[in-house]
């Protein structure tokens, strides 16, 4: 797919489809007015005839475009001009691009990107448009024997911009494309079934990413090395499964040699049955997406390398299955973590924190400038925040604020939950240093409180993406979140 900045009057541009915004209430945005004048009033006539009102999300396709150099005009309603904000703009762009993705033509020009929107400048509008295009045109067909012809015919999308905004729009396209490719990778990994997307498969994909950039190196530890590191908690999770575990380390070096890296740790449970504390059968199929933290880390490392960011970033991915069997961990087993702390495993379904605590201990070796873990960690996070915002917890106000702001800017929002020391009381164990679960109360916080014990003083944030990594319903599948949030954060780090 090609994206190209287009400047100049809409009426001069040759294209199979001009995607043109209109407001409700009469005002014509500049692209609409340019085409209207050159086209003998065809747009104002459509509005006068009430063929389109211009309400948010309204659409009308004009195919009789006379002498105009565009074969079609897709009018898209933005709602009232005074109410145009980023949310409304996004919705209009999404609706229009989803329609274009089903069209049979090869090129189009999106004029919504040249329309001023409150807090989204030309850079942001171009970047979002590219991300939205990839989102609506994403198809997951690799597991079908007959993929069909659902792939969009569109090969080139023009991004309209004012002359003074060309540089910003170009940058937006570049960033948007790298982020969108990473998001598509993470969606694929989330959607693949767990008999394909195994820990060794994630290693293969990590190697594939590293092959494309000399700045990326990959290391994948196996069972023997994981044992040697004494990762007793990680080993307790994998021991019920016949599928070998892996511990993946991806290093991107784009910054000064020796500059402390941002370290990203991603939960890579390729299937979470719950183990002996087995989950109900109901939606157990969805637990193939319990590796979306890992997918996020692979995606971010790929995008960071593609954009050649001037920083060091390290990705750490502990990955295995959580299954019941004769060799599986029993509720009440006590294990020794790599840090030396002992854990009483009261519930084998709280396995994410067990693989993460050893991964965090390992990650401290890199003396991180910031440590961020990403995990589909708790159902409680879905109860608290639904699928709208990711849960954010941590020990650093500065890091938390930076991540919240990044999520806001990238339209991939998070919400911070508290992490007072008092919550640690809930996971006390009479038999070991700590238990892996508390009671029903504050499930997302007690999970983070467990992780905090292994972090120490390093600046750390935890993103619980149990709700945001996956869509249900007609749009069922991986979302690629929180890649846009993390990329926004890394793009602004020096």
**Which residues of this protein are in contact with Mn ion, per CB under 5 A?**
272, 349, 351
Catalytic residue among 91, 279, 336, 493: 279
Both tokens assigned to 195: 């008999």
- When asked if residue 399 is in the footprint of ligand BES (CB under 6 A), the reply is no
- When asked if residue 488 is in the footprint of ligand BES (CB under 6 A), the reply is no
- When asked if residue 443 is in the footprint of ligand BES (CB under 6 A), the reply is yes
Residue nearest to ligand BES (CB): 379
Q: How far is the CB of 423 from ligand BES (least distance, A)?
A: 14
Q: Which of 334, 379, 405, 477 binds ligand BES (CB under 6 A)?
A: 379
Q: How many residues bind Zn ion (CB under 5 A)?
A: 4
CB distance 327 to 240 below 8 Å: yes
Both tokens assigned to 343: 């854990």
Both tokens assigned to 220: 């994948």
- When asked if residue 290 is in the footprint of Zn ion (CB under 5 A), the reply is yes
Instruction: List, as one string, the DSSP characters of 148-171.
Output: TT-S----EEEEE--GGGHHHHHH
Return the closest-CA partner of residue 394 out of 464, 327, 340: 464
Instruction: List, as one string, the DSSP characters of 116-127.
Output: -BTTB-HHHHHH
CB distance 95 to 76 below 8 Å: yes
> Which phi and psi angles does 35 have, rounded to 5°?
-70, -35
In the three-class reduction of DSSP (H, G, I as helix; E, B as strand; rest coil), residue 41 is classed as coil
- Our measurement of the distance from residue 133's CA atom to the centroid of its chain's CA atoms, rounded to an integer in Å, reads 15
Whether 336 sits among the annotated catalytic residues: the reply is no
- When asked if residue 272 is in the footprint of Zn ion (CB under 5 A), the reply is yes
Choices 28-36, 57-65, 188-196, 284-292 (CB under 5 A): range interacting with Zn ion: 284-292
Q: Which of 319, 339, 378, 468 binds ligand BES (CB under 6 A)?
A: 378
- Contacted by 378, from Zn ion, Mn ion, ligand BES, none: CB < 5 to 8 Å by type: ligand BES
273 CB neighbour count, 10 Å cutoff: 24
Smaller CB separation from ligand BES, 69 or 379:
379
Interface map 332-361 toward ligand BES (x if CB under 6 A) = ---------------x-xxxx---------
Q: How far is the CB of 322 from Zn ion (least distance, A)?
A: 6
Catalytic residue among 90, 353, 389, 453: 353
> Which phi and psi angles does 120 have, rounded to 5°?
-120, 110
Secondary structure E strands in 387-468: 390-394, 414-416, 434-435, 460-464
Interface map 323-352 toward Zn ion (x if CB under 5 A) = -----------------------------x
Whether 211 sits among the annotated catalytic residues: the reply is no
Return the closest-CA partner of residue 236 out of 199, 183, 276, 284: 276
Q: How far is the CB of 290 from Zn ion (least distance, A)?
A: 4
Smaller CB separation from ligand BES, 209 or 375:
375
- When asked if residue 321 is in the footprint of Zn ion (CB under 5 A), the reply is no
Taking CB atoms within 8 Å and a gap of at least 24, the contacts of 406-411 are: 406/485, 406/486, 406/488, 406/489, 406/492, 407/482, 407/485, 407/488, 409/124, 409/488, 410/484, 410/485, 410/487, 410/488, 411/86, 411/90, 411/128, 411/484
Q: How far is the CB of 350 from ligand BES (least distance, A)?
A: 4
Smaller CB separation from Zn ion, 290 or 411:
290
Q: How far is the CB of 42 from ligand BES (least distance, A)?
A: 50
Choices 138-146, 233-241, 372-380, 415-423 (CB under 6 A): range interacting with ligand BES: 372-380
CA distance 250 to 220: 9
Return the closest-CA partner of residue 194 out of 281, 270, 268: 270
Interface map 285-304 toward ligand BES (x if CB under 6 A) = -----x--------------
227 CB neighbour count, 10 Å cutoff: 13
Secondary structure E strands in 150-279: 156-160, 216-221, 246-253, 262-266, 268-272
Sites for Zn ion among residues 76-115 (CB under 5 A): none
- When asked if residue 270 is in the footprint of ligand BES (CB under 6 A), the reply is no
Smaller CB separation from ligand BES, 248 or 356:
356
Find where tokens 């000399």 sit. 214
Smaller CB separation from Mn ion, 302 or 468:
468
CB distance 169 to 126 below 8 Å: yes
Residues at the interface with ligand BES (CB under 6 A): 272, 290, 347, 349-352, 376-380, 382, 437, 443, 466
> Which residues are the active-site residues?
279, 353
């Amino acid at each position: 797919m090609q994206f190209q900045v287009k400047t100049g009057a809409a009426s001069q541009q040759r294209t199979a489809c001009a995607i043109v915004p209109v407001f409700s209430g009469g005002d014509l945005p500049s692209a609409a007015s340019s085409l209207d004048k050159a086209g003998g009033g065809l747009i104002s006539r459509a509005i006068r005839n009430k063929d389109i009102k211009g309400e948010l999300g309204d659409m009308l396709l004009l195919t009789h475009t006379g002498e105009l150099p565009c074969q079609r005009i897709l009018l898209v309603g933005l709602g009232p001009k005074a109410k145009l904000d980023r949310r409304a703009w996004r919705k209009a762009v999404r609706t229009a691009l989803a329609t274009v993705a089903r069209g049979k033509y090869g090129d189009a020009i999106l004029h919504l990107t040249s329309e001023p929107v409150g807090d989204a400048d030309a850079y942001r509008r171009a970047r979002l448009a590219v991300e939205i295009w990839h989102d609506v045109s994403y198809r997951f067909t690799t597991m079908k024997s007959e993929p069909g012809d659902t792939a969009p015919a569109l090969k080139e999308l023009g991004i309209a911009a004012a002359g003074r905004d060309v540089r910003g729009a170009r940058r937006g396209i570049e960033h948007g494309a790298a982020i969108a490719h990473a998001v598509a990778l993470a969606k694929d990994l989330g959607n693949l079934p767990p008999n394909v997307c195994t820990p060794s498969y994630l290693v293969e994909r990590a190697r594939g990413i590293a092959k494309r950039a000399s700045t990326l190196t990959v290391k994948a530890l196996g069972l023997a090395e994981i044992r040697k590191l004494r990762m007793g908690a990680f080993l307790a999770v994998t021991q019920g499964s016949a599928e070998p575990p892996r511990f993946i380390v991806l290093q991107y070096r784009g910054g000064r040699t020796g500059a402390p890296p941002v370290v990203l740790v991603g939960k890579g449970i390729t299937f979470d049955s719950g183990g002996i504390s087995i989950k109900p059968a109901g939606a157990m199929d969805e637990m193939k997406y319990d590796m979306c933290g890992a997918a996020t880390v692979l995606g971010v490392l790929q995008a960071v390398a593609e954009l050649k960011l001037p920083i060091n970033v390290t990705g750490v991915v502990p990955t295995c299955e959580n299954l019941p069997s004769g060799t599986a961990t029993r509720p009440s087993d006590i294990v020794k973590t790599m840090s030396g702390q002992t854990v009483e495993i009261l519930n084998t379904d709280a396995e994410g924190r067990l693989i993460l605590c050893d991964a965090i201990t390992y990650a401290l070796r890199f003396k991180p400038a910031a440590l961020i873990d990403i995990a589909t960690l708790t159902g409680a996070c879905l109860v608290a925040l639904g699928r709208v915002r990711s849960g954010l917890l941590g020990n650093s106000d500065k890091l938390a604020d930076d991540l919240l702001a990044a999520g806001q800017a990238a339209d991939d929002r998070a919400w911070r939950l508290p992490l007072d020391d008092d919550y640690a009381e809930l996971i006390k164990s009479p038999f070991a240093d700590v238990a892996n679960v508390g009671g029903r109360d504050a499930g997302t916080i007690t999970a983070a409180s467990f992780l905090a014990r292994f972090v120490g003083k390093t600046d750390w944030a935890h993103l619980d993406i149990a709700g945001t990594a996956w869509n249900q319903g007609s749009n069922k599948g991986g979302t690629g979140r929180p890649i846009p949030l993390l990329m926004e954060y890394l793009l602004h780090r020096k």
